[in-house]
Every structure is written in C-alpha cells, then in structure tokens.
Amino acid sequence: MKLSGLFKVSLVASALVLAGCGGDIKVTPTVNDNSVNNSNNTTNNSGNPTDPTDPTPDPGGKDNPCTKRTVAGNEVQGEFVAPHCVYGTDFAGKTLEIEDDITFAALENGGAHVFDGAIQMGKDCNTTQNCTIDTNGPTLNVEAGATLAFRSGEAIIRIGRGAKINAVGTADAPITFTSANVFSEFDIAETGPQFADWGGIIINGFGLTNQCTNAERAANTCNATSEGITSHFGGKNNADSSGTIKFANIWYAGSGPREGGDGDDLNSLTLNAVGSGSTFDYLHIHQGFDDGIEFFGGAANIKHIVVTDTQDDSIDIDAGWQGNAQFIYVQHGTVKTKKDVTYTNDDDELVTIPAGSEGFMGNNGFETDGEKNGGEEYSEAPASNPTIANVTVVTTDGKSIRDNGASQAVKFDDAIQGQYYNALLVKAVADNNTACVEFKDDAEEAAKNDTLNFNNSVLACVNHYKNGEQFKSGGSKSEWFVNNASSQILNSAEGVLAADGFSTNTASTEITIQANNLSGLDLSFFDQVDYIGAVSDKDTTSDWYKWVQKAIAATKNQ
C-alpha cells in the first residue's frame, strides 16, 4: 500500500510503498556499524572525549566491575569506561554461544553494560543435524537495577532451548534493556535512541507449536525456526521453564536495520514455544519496530504488561499459544524519527522513512492467530486458545509508520479461540475510518461456536468494526460482542478513562455493566478484581498503578 496522509510533515515518502498489515518485512541494513572487537572506547559519561592521559582504571584490574568469562580458553572481560562496561564481539556476538552461567550486576553512577554484538545463551541445536540439546543449559543472570544497552541492530539476546534468563528487578530498581544511544557517549550520530536500534529478546522453549507435526514431536525432531535471526524451538512440554523476566523495561528494540542481518522481523520480546514454568511480569515495552510480545505456541503466562508506541502489534498471538494474561495496558501514539530508516518491502522495493518524519506507532493492540498449520497431523498443538483478563487498549485514528496498518484494538484470524474478561477497548476519534475490532474470515466460526468471546467488557469506540456490522457468513458482530448482555457497546470513549488518562473511571455513568470477579478462572494465576480494564482509578498506591504511571511518563520524555 502507498503511504497516504501518514506523516504530519510533507514527505518525499508519499510515493513510497509499504508492506501490507501483518506481513513480514525484509530489512536492508542502512545504519552505520558502530561495533568494535575490543571495546577500546575512550569516552566518559559527559559525552565528551576522554583525555587519554586521564587516570582510568586498569581494564583488567581490581577496580574493573565488568563481567568476565572464558572464551576458547582465554579470559575476556568488559572494559570499564567509567561508569560503563563495554563488551566487544570477542566477548559476545553472532559467532559466539555462551555455555556457562553469566551475571551482569547493577553498575554505580548510572552505568550500563554496553554490547556491540548479540548475547546468545546456550547452543542452538537442530536435532536433525547430529546435535543434542543441553536441557540444563546456562543461565543469563541480570541483577536488579542493571542496564544492558546495545549498539547494533543485529544485537539480540537469544535464550536457546535448555538455557534460561533470570532477570528479576524490583519496582524501585527495574532492569532495563535498551539502545546504547540513550547514552551520549555511545550516540556517535547524536540522534538519540529510536525504534530498531537493537534486536530485542528471543526466548526458545520446549513447548508445543503447530509449526511442528505430531510425528516430529514424537521423534524429537521438532525444530521450528525463529523469526529474525535463525535459531530453533519447540518440543512437547508446555510446562517447561525458560526463566523469569520481572520488573524490566525493553525499549527501542525490534526489526532492522540490522548490520549483517538477513532481514526477518524481530520483536521486542519473542516467546517461541515457551512453557508455563516461565514468568513474565511487570514489563514495559516501548517503541519497538515490530511487535511488543509475540507468542509462537507454548503456554507462557504474562502479567502486568505495558506496551507503548510500538509500531506493529502490541501482543501478537500465533501457532497455538495456550497461556494466560492479566493486566495488559496498551497505548498507541506517535513518533518523530531521529534518523533515516530504510528497508525492503514485500515487493523487494527499497523504502525509506526519512529522519524528521512524524508518524503513528501502533497497529493492533492484540493480533491473534490460531494456527500456522491445522489438521490431524498437528492435533497435539491445537489453535491458540488463551484466557485474557483486565485489558485496556487505547487506540489512535492513525496508520502505523512502517506498514500503514490502522490502529485497532484487536484482530482475529486463523481459527483463533480465546476468552477475554473485563476488557476496555477505546477509540475516541475515527475520522480516517479506523475501527476497534477486525474479523478475518477464518475467525468467524470460533465466534459463532462460542469458543471466542468477550465477557464483562466494554467497546468504547466511535467506530466499532472494520468491514461492517455483519459477519460475512451472516449474523451480528454486536450481538456476539455483547454476549448475552454481559458486555456493553458505547458509541464514544467519553468518560470511560479517569483524569490520569489510563486507568478506568470506576465512577463512570457510561459503563453500566459489572466486572467479572474472575472467581471462575484459575486463581493460582488470576487475581480477583472488581473493575473493568487494566488499571483501576481506586488503586493508585499499588505497584501496578505506579508501574503504568511511570511507563506513560517515560514515553513523554522519549
């Protein structure tokens, strides 16, 4: 599709062609490669060059707080360039896989662990090629308050099957995964941070995905291939653990431009067949260039998640995800690009988004797909069927800067199933004919068979459905949404949000239905509630309210 009215400033880009909504986009590397092998940076925290005659700690001496590890029999340690630790591609990169536990501690004076290359935990193994997965692989430990920053679009964190991540912050000392351009010392082009500055986090698990057949699982040859940077995932254990990420920020990640990358999209957090033994709680994902969190099968659970100004889908469900989610706040917004972004679209045409362009960020709050493959040979990994409670999606009236996809609350496709409770879907303006809910043909059957429903939810949108009120196969979408009067449809967003702009206005006279207290769900995961939406305006002292408040405040300073 051609860009039309996308940017708020006049652009030569009006003639550029973008890829269609939901498609993968090949990315052509265009960013300068700032990586080095030995991390011989001579900068300080002021952003000014360090005088080489200044006294600095011995990079390998007792004053060096940087992590060290052994590579090919040699000890390699990050270089301490106060207050930061800088790690070259001799420490971690696309050709190195880390096979021992490794820990990154919080550094004093706002210091960050800065990486030129990828952190790849565990050996990647395609079990059809004479290798064996180490089911007790290494753990990446990140301590509360630590910051890990990345200088390259191909720099990712990849947790292989059998490896784990243990990144547990606190409300007062969260962990941050971000762009090195946050720090003036590493922002060589002096642009500041922006989406796609680094690749994001990929976690590969042993869970079920309908990207593999039943026979492949039985033979231990399920080796689904990850998007973005090739690695393998999948198995037959939906209760497997790949570790924990809690109280963490994931900012400015996503797909290319990636130096040396082969072009597939990268998300801020990709959960490939990750099992329910893993924990993902209190995350803020901001300004990713593809999806916020994407599931490919598995049964991982997520809780207390904020996704802001992410280009594509905030939560993307696919390939048979069977997990739970509660307390999900999504907010679409705008961004002014700080540098050119060039990539190749689905028609192999080179597309450039020029620096200084203003455009919208956000396609679907939830993009939901049931299966990559269906039929008897995939029956052990049925279509995605999550249970999701206490959601707020605040949409815009814009179309996202990369793929021209409209800002929507949810899209259903590919035999998706699932139950939503206490959802609040918001759209205040729809002059551009954007809507809140989209149904693709392959999702209508689930809605009609009562396997896809909203319960005790509010559709507070000035335009409710893309492509009209009626299902293509007949029947009313509104009747489906209202679901025997458990849910409610409003023709505006007036009064549903509190004065803070994100919590539910529990005193609203517009919302006339009651919340579901969730007592009928699995209370080992779900918290019982008395409100609709992700956040209550009566709960301003809780960690969750403060987490959302802090996340929204952070976006205003980006």
**Span 337-361, pLDDT tens digits:** 998 887 766 677 788 889 999 999 9
For residue 87, is pLDDT > 90?
Answer: yes
- Position 3 scores a pLDDT of 29
- Position 52 scores a pLDDT of 31
**Interval 304-341: pLDDT, tens:** 999 999 999 999 999 999 999 999 999 999 999 998 88
How far, in Å, CA of 207 to CA of 527, rounded? 25
With tokens 């994407």, the residue in question is 294
* Helical (H) or strand (E) element with 478: helix 477-482
- Position 256 scores a pLDDT of 55
Q: Which two tokens stand for residue 254?
A: 């996503």
Percent of the chain at pLDDT exceeding 70: 86
Tell the burial category of 126 from Cβ atoms under 10 Å away from its Cβ (0-12, 13-18, 19+).
Answer: middle
How far, in Å, CA of 327 to CA of 422, rounded? 10
* Helical (H) or strand (E) element with 553: helix 543-555
Q: Per-residue pLDDT averaged across 539-557, rounded?
A: 95
Strands 175-179 and 243-251: parallel
Of 247-251, 347-351, 385-389, 422-426, least confident by mean pLDDT is: 347-351
Of 151-160, 348-357, 417-426, 518-527, least confident by mean pLDDT is: 348-357
Q: Which two tokens stand for residue 402?
A: 């990369």
Contact 314, 226 (CB under 8 A): no
Q: Which two tokens stand for residue 395?
A: 């949409």
Work out the pLDDT band at 459, boundaries 50, 70, 90: very high
Residue 302: name the closest of 387, 196, 224, 359 by CA.
387
The more confidently predicted of residues 85 and 257 is 85
Helix ranges (DSSP H) in 363-454: 444-448
- Position 48 scores a pLDDT of 31
Q: Per-residue pLDDT averaged across 447-451, rounded?
A: 93
How far, in Å, CA of 400 to CA of 276, rounded? 32
Q: Per-residue pLDDT averaged across 1-23, rounded?
A: 29
From residue 243, give the alpha-carbon distance in Å to each of 141, 235, 275, 286, 416.
10, 17, 10, 22, 27
Beta carbons within 10 angstroms of residue 442's beta carbon: 17
Work out the pLDDT band at 404, boundaries 50, 70, 90: confident
Beta carbons within 10 angstroms of residue 516's beta carbon: 21
How far, in Å, CA of 423 to CA of 527, rounded? 15
Tell the burial category of 215 from Cβ atoms under 10 Å away from its Cβ (0-12, 13-18, 19+).
Answer: exposed
For residue 59, is pLDDT > 90?
Answer: no
For residue 24, is pLDDT > 60?
Answer: no
Q: Per-residue pLDDT averaged across 399-404, rounded?
A: 87
Work out the pLDDT band at 402, boundaries 50, 70, 90: confident
**Interval 88-136: pLDDT, tens:** 999 999 999 999 999 999 999 999 999 999 999 999 999 999 999 999 9
Length of the chain: 558
How far, in Å, CA of 510 to CA of 533, rounded? 14
For residue 393, is pLDDT > 70?
Answer: yes
Q: What is the CA radius of gyration of the chain?
A: 23
Q: Which two tokens stand for residue 270?
A: 């990709």
Tell the burial category of 354 from Cβ atoms under 10 Å away from its Cβ (0-12, 13-18, 19+).
Answer: middle
DSSP code of 423?
A: E
Work out the pLDDT band at 14, boundaries 50, 70, 90: very low
Q: Per-residue pLDDT averaged across 37-60, rounded?
A: 37
Count CA atoms within 13 Å of residue 45 on its CB side: 10
The more confidently predicted of residues 229 and 188 is 188
β-pair partners for 140: 102, 165
The dihedral built from the CA positions of residue 247, 293, 422 and 431, taken in this order, carries a sign that is: positive
For residue 223, is pLDDT > 70?
Answer: yes
* Helical (H) or strand (E) element with 549: helix 543-555
How far, in Å, CA of 221 to CA of 219, rounded? 5
- Position 36 scores a pLDDT of 39
How far, in Å, CA of 118 to CA of 97, rounded? 9
- Position 352 scores a pLDDT of 87
Instruction: Return all residues near 374 (Cβ < 8 A) that are at least 6 apart.
Output: 210, 383, 415
Give DSSP secondary structure letters for 293-335. EEEESS---EEEEEEES-SS-SEEEESS---EEEEEEEE-EEE
For residue 261, is pLDDT > 60?
Answer: no
DSSP-derived 3-state class of residue 545: helix
- Position 264 scores a pLDDT of 64
- Mean of per-residue pLDDT scores for the chain: 88
Q: Per-residue pLDDT averaged across 190-209, rounded?
A: 96
With tokens 């802090």, the residue in question is 550
How far, in Å, CA of 495 to CA of 347, rounded? 44
Work out the pLDDT band at 43, boundaries 50, 70, 90: very low
Count CA atoms within 13 Å of residue 375 on its CB side: 7
For residue 40, is pLDDT > 80?
Answer: no
For residue 13, is pLDDT > 90?
Answer: no
- Position 335 scores a pLDDT of 93
Work out the pLDDT band at 148, boundaries 50, 70, 90: very high
How far, in Å, CA of 24 to CA of 400, rounded? 14
How far, in Å, CA of 463 to CA of 208, rounded? 37
For residue 25, is pLDDT > 60?
Answer: no
